[in-house]
């Protein structure tokens, strides 16, 4: 990916986050503390503002800059988790990896930091499903939608939602929903949507 496309991807992700800010917080209300929309909106607004102010020579630099903004501006769990993901993606881009490997590197960092495995009702469920679809060359909006919806029937065993135990069943995981927006934006910049 080149710097311009990476920047466009991040801008599009930010637009989707700002549009869905209230919905993301609504998802976080029954199973968390209702701040996921505000967290992501604050972090991504700062990230794109920072991107607009500078020139970037590579996608790696873009992801690195986004990572720093998310880690420093977001208090919730999602800031360090997304921040770690973008850090892993920056490293993989620097090493000349292709897109599935870049997203895999992001997932690896999320798991290194948060210790969640698939099935625990976290953003890991969407990231891991997206990696598999990308490896097969068949990531679509429908696949993303299915992955996000699948978190509804899961019981949370990691993160704040794990505190409500069984009562987390029946609600979509907010971090999975925001991750879905990230990958929808990716499809749009890749012109595959
Ligand atoms: P907080 O939980 O601190 O309020 P947010 O509400 O912004 O932070 O983010 C919650 C989201 O973070 C969850 O919906 C889930 O997808 C993700 N999350 C929480 N803990 C983990 C973890 N250990 N591993 C992966 N993702 C996690
Ligand atoms: Mg929260």
DSSP characters for 120-144? SSSHHHHHHHHHHHHHTT---HHHH
Among 73, 93, 111, residue whose Cα is nearest residue 9: 93
Residues 139, 181: Cα–Cα separation, whole Å: 13
CB 28 within 8 A of CB 37: yes
88 alpha-carbon distance from chain centroid? 13
| pLDDT, tens digit only, all 193 positions of the chain | 999 999 999 999 999 999 999 999 999 999 999 999 999 999 999 999 999 999 999 999 999 999 999 999 998 999 999 999 999 999 999 999 999 999 999 999 999 999 999 999 999 999 999 999 999 999 999 999 999 999 999 999 999 999 999 999 999 999 999 999 999 999 999 986 5
pLDDT given for residue 75 in this prediction: 85
Spacing, Cα 159 to ligand 1 middle (Å): 5
**Cβ < 6 A, ligand 1 pocket:** 28, 32-33, 35-36, 39, 76-78, 81, 110, 114-116, 122-124, 158-160, 173-176
Residues 42, 183: Cα–Cα separation, whole Å: 19
pTM over 0.95: yes
2 alpha-carbon distance from chain centroid? 20
Give the CB-side neighbour count of residue 76, counting CA atoms within 13 A. Answer: 21
Residues 81, 186: Cα–Cα separation, whole Å: 19
pLDDT given for residue 192 in this prediction: 64
């Amino acid at each position: 990916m080149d710097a311009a496309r990476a920047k466009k991807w991040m801008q599009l992700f930010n637009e989707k986050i700002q549009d869905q800010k209230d919905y993301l917080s609504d998802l976080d209300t029954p199973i968390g503390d209702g701040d996921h929309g505000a967290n992501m909106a604050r972090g991504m607004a700062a990230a794109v503002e920072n991107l607009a102010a500078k020139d970037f020579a590579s996608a790696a630099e873009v992801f690195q800059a986004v990572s720093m903004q998310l880690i420093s501006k977001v208090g919730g769990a999602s800031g360090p988790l997304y921040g770690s993901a973008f850090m892993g993606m920056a490293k993989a881009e620097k090493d000349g990896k292709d897109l599935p490997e870049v997203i895999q590197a992001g997932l690896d960092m999320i798991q290194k930091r948060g210790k969640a495995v698939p099935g625990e009702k976290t953003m890991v469920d969407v990231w891991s499903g997206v990696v598999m679809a990308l490896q097969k060359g068949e990531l679509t909006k429908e696949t993303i939608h299915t992955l996000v919806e699948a978190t509804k029937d899961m019981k949370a065993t990691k993160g704040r939602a794990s505190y409500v135990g069984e009562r987390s069943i029946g609600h979509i995981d907010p971090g999975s929903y925001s991750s879905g927006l990230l990958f929808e934006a990716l499809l749009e910049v890749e012109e595959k949507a």
